[in-house]
Amino acid sequence: MSGRLLPTDPATIGGHRLLARLGAGGMGVVYLGRTEAGTLAAVKVIQAEYADEPDFRARFRREVEAARRVTSPWAVPVTGADPDAASPWLATAFVPGPSLEEAVARHGPLPVRSVRVLARMLAAALREVHAAGLVHRDVKPANVLLAVDGPRLIDFGIARATDETAITSTDLVVGTPGFLSPEQAAARGAALGPASDIFSLGCLLAYAASGRPPFGTGTPDALLYRTVHDEPDLAGIEAEENAADNEESGESEESEKDTAGTELLTLLHLCLAKDPADRPTAEQICTVLLVEDAVPEGGRLDWLPEDVVRAIADRSSEMLALPDIEPTVAEAPRDTEQASPGRRRLLLVSGAAVLMAAGGAAAWAALRDQDDPEAPAPRAGSWAIGVQADLSGAQRTAGEAQERGVRLAVEQFNSRKGKPFELTLKTADDGGSAGRAQTAARKLIQDTAVLAVLGPTNDETAHAVLGTYDEALLPLLCVSAGGLILTSQQYRSFVHCRPSDAAVAIPISIYLRKQKGVLRPGLLQDRTAQTYSTESASINATMLRRLGRPAYPRVIPASADGTDDIGPVIDDMLRAGIDSFVYAGYAQGAALVARRLATAGFEGPRLTPQAVIDPAFLEQAGDAAEGWLLTASFVDPSALPAAAAFTAAFRKRYGAAPGHYAAEAYDTVNLVLQELVKATKGGRPPKRQELLALLRRSRYQGITKEFSFEPEDGTFAGWGIFLHQVEGGRFRFLGAAPSEV
């Protein structure tokens, strides 16, 4: 995604007219530039303060030299550079597609065949890197861009020649934790060779196939330790492909596809060998380990799923449909009149022609179906609130509770006398699936009556559609999705109406700090819960250490039932003398832990964040669940005096008590209504973009909590964390969680 140029940005760099910002970091900015011949380029410009440092300028000069030495169709070529300029710059061919990291995060893991093709082409790129006498040293998903004709390896910023003395110190870890080789993680700089890149390639391919890094996520120290000492987590890669294939293919094809999955798994194990001598070379991957037909000879390269091809097409059309160059401080602002329809149509048709040649009908469909963010505001009397939720999948209970909370708020508003407008409710069921989420989002986006949307229900679907809502500038307000991945980049349309999962886990450490006699907490991270457990465990490990109560941490691998691993780990923690226990994971694992602790007679405080507030925990743990303390971002409105009227109205309307997030959804819609009423002028609502700005600046006291946001990115700025405890076989609401030590 590109961003607008700032007034302080230059107008040109090295003969490139700058059009937009592609990204910015601590050391420089990457711009989208256009040469006089009309060729687009990615232009990296180093900030002046770093350019004044001789060591840094030497490093940048080395990056330019390294990138120029690599010639491969799967590595982005250098098109120009000046490392000696006042502001050193490097230009490379512009690839409009998303990074592998972005594609997997938004659309899910790639099919086995796609990963095999990716492996062969990236291995071919590394073969040229190594043949040039270089080691890339930062092979990771963010450094691979996807195009319909294959991937592109980018960023040789820390690459160096194998026979060259490193500018960095030998005990400095260089690269990205989670995608480093063991020799990189151990800071053995002098020992880094081509085999290090092969290990990183294995990590990248495992991420592409599973959607998660093979050594988990968390603090850099934890990732480095696991890389050196733990085996990679490759669970489910082969099984997931087979399951998907079996739905769509007959028996005659299953054997071939099973073999493909097995070959990929074998390749991953070889690449991820701890000993560099046991890893294959890039040449061996290309010519021996992957079959010849992994990359088709001639014809169109059809290697990516359709939704990823659509994302590439959308990004391409965005870049090609730039009718004007944005003004900078070097020139006076141009007239704001839109480019003529003929000019815009010509650019889009040109983009479509390029994409059709490379990617076929799917790319054209993506261009044709784009939504116009400048769609007209709805006419008076046709205003609506949208709900995108899981109404038929595994989390339909939470999705239905939110939909009911929204519906009740809308009905109550419409029943008011003298209301300034009538409101309707539009729903879209995504089944809790990232694959269905885009369709549900587009249904609401294309309905011009919809002014804002509440949802989706879970992290996976929310992350899948954030970019889609961004393109339409339609406010998206989340009340249940809470992973930090939702704030991994700044979205223009996002309003997060709850604290993140990591923030929800913080009161656990604060609570333990307040307990007398608690000096050695045990902290168990269950990798079955993937990113959720990592976020919850990492924040508590950090907090407990800062509060003078360092935890005794243990990790158990992802498992279908966990029975083989939990018992010995719990016994070890008890032998270490822990006096309290924190579990980071899901309800089923928590039940196993609770039973084991109860059997051992452990009576210290037992705490866990909100994913364990699940009937499955009570059912599977039985009496062992009693006394467990849980933190959550939601309330039990039936036990909250401020929510008495809401609870009564909900029971009357639906004949049942409100479920989790029903009251939060109710509050969120009333927040939207507050801003709509204030912004209504002449019987017409504000535009979507105007409403979004109002929401991010708003403050609203609901029945569940006070809502406020960071105006820059829409993240939740309040507290809104609560305690629940298991008593008498049920979750009892205790009130606000402690926020101060």
Active site residues: 138
The answer to whether 535 touches 483, Cβ cutoff 8 Å, is yes
Q: Is the peptide bond before 456 cis (omega within 30 degrees of 0)?
A: yes
Residues sharing a CB contact under 8 Å with residue 206, sequence separation 6 or more, in sequence order: 213, 214, 232, 234, 237, 268, 272
Helix (H), strand (E) at residue 160: strand 160-161
Distances (CA, A) of 686 to 380, 425, 679: 11, 18, 6
Q: How many CB atoms lie within 10 A of CB 38?
A: 7
47 exposure class (CB count in 10 Å sphere: 0-12, 13-18, 19+): middle
Collapsing DSSP to helix, strand or coil, 639 comes out as: helix
Phi-psi region of 418 (alpha: psi -120 to 50; beta: other; left: phi over 0): left
Nearest to 652 by CA among 414, 457, 412: 412
Distance between CA atoms of 629 and 553, rounded to whole angstroms?
Answer: 19
Preceding amide of 305 cis, omega within 30: no
Alpha helices (runs of H) in 230-281, residue ranges in sequence order: 237-248, 251-271
Residues 589 and 593: their CA atoms lie apart, in Å, by 6
- Give the separation between CA 581 and CA 534, rounded to whole angstroms: 16
Nearest CA to 725 out of 716, 735, 715 is that of 735
The Cα 279–Cα 201 span in angstroms is 11
Give CA 484 to chain center in angstroms.
7
- Around Cβ 656, how many Cβ atoms within 10 Å? 11
Q: Distance (Å, rounded) from C-alpha 275 to C-alpha 186?
A: 13
Using an 8 Å Cβ cutoff, are 22 and 68 in contact?
A: no
Angle, CA of 219, 274 and 260, to the nearest 5°: 100
Residue 315, both tokens: 């990004």
Amino acid at 404: R
Tell me the HSE value of 124 on the side-chain side, using a 13 A CA sphere: 20
- Separation CA 580–CA 608 (nearest Å): 11
Helix axes 396-414, 644-654, angle to 10 degrees: 100
**Residues, the chain:** 741
153 three-state secondary structure? strand
- Please give the Cα distance from 125 to 105 (Å, whole number): 24
Residue from 445, 439, 478 nearest 462 by CA:
478
- Of 554, 620, 544, 548, the closest CA to residue 584 belongs to 554
Give which of 480, 527, 515 is closest to 607, Cα–Cα: 515
Q: Is 517 left (phi over 0), alpha (psi -120 to 50) or beta?
A: left
CB of 643 within 8 A of CB of 635?
yes
Could you report how far apart the first and last alpha carbons of the chain are, in Å? Answer: 41
Residue 349, classified by CB atoms within 10 Å of its CB into exposed (0-12), middle (13-18) or buried (19+), is exposed
For 163-223, give the secondary structure using H, E and C.
CCCCCCCCCCCCCCCCCCCHHHHCCCHHHCCHHHHHHHHHHHHHHHHHCCCCCCCCCHHHH
Nearest of 366, 357, 371 to residue 313 by alpha carbon: 366
